Amino acid sequence: MHDPAPLRSFHRNRFQAEPAVFVAPGRVNLIGEHTDYAEGFVMPVAIDFATLAGISPRTDGKIVIYSENYGKERVFEAAALPAGPSQHWSDYPIGVVSILAAEGLAIPGFSLSLWGDVPLGSGLSSSAALEVATALAVTSLIGVTYPGPVLARLCQRAENEFVGANCGIMDQFISANGEEDHALLLDCRDLSFKLAPIPANVALVIANTMVKHSVAGSGYTSRRAEVEEGCAVIASHRPEVRFLRDATVDDLARWGSEMSPNALKRSRHVITENLRTVAAAKALITHNLTELGRLMAEAHASYSQDFEASCVEADAMVALAQDLPGLIGARLTGGGFGGCTINLVEREHAIEFAEALAARYADQTGIVPQIHICHASGGAHRIE
């Protein structure tokens, strides 16, 4: 639970107005990596880390956005929104505003205060939290209510079309639609989802390798291109295959030799990851935690060896967790090339697990990691 009092107080002091306050969480993905833009399956959880957005109207036609994290403010004209990004933190909130304007909403002047505790560059979706909190705040000021999945799509568009990062739908979707104590098995084709309860005796232990992750980075973009390349080869034989979601392991066996070695490996990851993700949701729902752990281990191996989106530190973090008491499953989570591992751990062992993992990781890599024991939180909403 985030206390809105500090945000209210700095908003009041800065803007002499009482804000309406909204919160949007970051996320951790249990399994299903780089499958969202292939219209496949993902299984994320909203977490306790979040962005808070406080908003109040202005009468001078200006949009003033203040970030408490950066201690900085940016000023825009509501009637003359910027056409593109300026490689600045404000690209995310103003990108959302610009997409809302493109949707035909009349954008008024407003003051927006932002504060968040999602660790930046850690693969826990600080940008999606920022976008979704902004979108909720601005739409509520305008008096428009979008269903969660629609809000998520608008925020994804802000990131794709304004910020220029080619992400899928997962992060914005879970931030807008997360359910307390549940993971969501999300079908990224039609955005339908199934809730999978996280058992009360299972803790989410998130271990930050401290290696910076970025969706805007070249690794994410090149992997996505290779996935699309693999899909195009299969589609040249089976035109009904529009995304790798439609492809099978058998397709790879038949036509994989026509792909570049990288496209073949990336496609194999995506195709098998979709199968693992659906199986993992079933395992979670039926309380088969041994099977869930096995699938997570397989997913990490695939992410590291076929998708080559892990790094030495994340592989070490996963390996070092393996024989610690209480571990159910561990893997690198998020877009890759750094960030955090997710460890599902029996709750009674969570604290000693976290301490032992931190000590082992520091010992092996010389890096002091941050380890967080999180719970599955609800999605974005207004805080009264």
Tell me which residues touch ligand GAF (CB under 6 A). 29, 33-34, 36-37, 167-168, 170-171, 215, 334-335
Comparing CB distances to ligand GAF, the nearer of 36 and 91 is 36
H helix runs in 5-125, sequence order:
5-15, 91-102
Comparing CB distances to ligand GAF, the nearer of 2 and 224 is 224
The one catalytic residue in 36, 48, 91, 171 is 171
Q: Where are the beta strands (DSSP E) in the chain?
A: 20-29, 41-42, 44-57, 62-67, 72-77, 110-116, 182-187, 192-197, 202-208, 327-332, 340-346, 370-374, 381-383
Q: How far is it, in rounded angstroms, from Cα 155 to Cα 173?
A: 9
Rg of the chain on CA atoms, in Å = 21
Q: How far is it, in rounded angstroms, from Cα 190 to Cα 225?
A: 22
Strand order, beta sheet including 182-187:
41-42, 182-187, 192-197
Comparing CB distances to ligand GAF, the nearer of 133 and 167 is 167
The least distance separating ligand GAF from the CB of residue 363, rounded to whole angstroms, comes to: 29
Comparing CB distances to ligand GAF, the nearer of 22 and 37 is 37
Q: How far is it, in rounded angstroms, from Cα 36 to Cα 159?
A: 15
Token pair of 364, please? 């092996």
Answer yes or no: are the C-beta atoms of 302 and 32 closer than 8 Å.
Answer: no
Comparing CB distances to ligand GAF, the nearer of 99 and 358 is 99
Residue-by-residue DSSP string for 353-380: HHHHHHHHHHHHHS---EEEEE------
The least distance separating ligand GAF from the CB of residue 74, rounded to whole angstroms, comes to: 24
The least distance separating ligand GAF from the CB of residue 43, rounded to whole angstroms, comes to: 10
Comparing CB distances to ligand GAF, the nearer of 50 and 170 is 170
The least distance separating ligand GAF from the CB of residue 351, rounded to whole angstroms, comes to: 28
How far CA 175 is from CA of 33, 127, 130, 255, in Å, comes to 17, 10, 10, 38
How far CA 288 is from CA of 138, 279, 280, 283, 322, in Å, comes to 42, 10, 9, 5, 18
Q: How far is it, in rounded angstroms, from Cα 65 to Cα 107?
A: 14
Active site residue 315: no
Answer yes or no: are the C-beta atoms of 95 and 158 closer than 8 Å.
Answer: yes
The least distance separating ligand GAF from the CB of residue 209, rounded to whole angstroms, comes to: 15
> Which contacts qualify for 233-240: CB closer than 8 Å, 24 or more apart?
233/258, 233/259, 233/263, 234/267
Q: Is 200 exposed, middle or buried (0-12, 13-18, 19+ CB in 10 A)?
A: exposed
DSSP SS3 for 143: coil
- Between vectors from CA 127 to CA 109 and to CA 148, what angle results, nearest 5°? 75
The least distance separating ligand GAF from the CB of residue 167, rounded to whole angstroms, comes to: 3
Comparing CB distances to ligand GAF, the nearer of 82 and 121 is 121
The least distance separating ligand GAF from the CB of residue 309, rounded to whole angstroms, comes to: 8
The least distance separating ligand GAF from the CB of residue 63, rounded to whole angstroms, comes to: 25
Catalytically annotated residues: 171
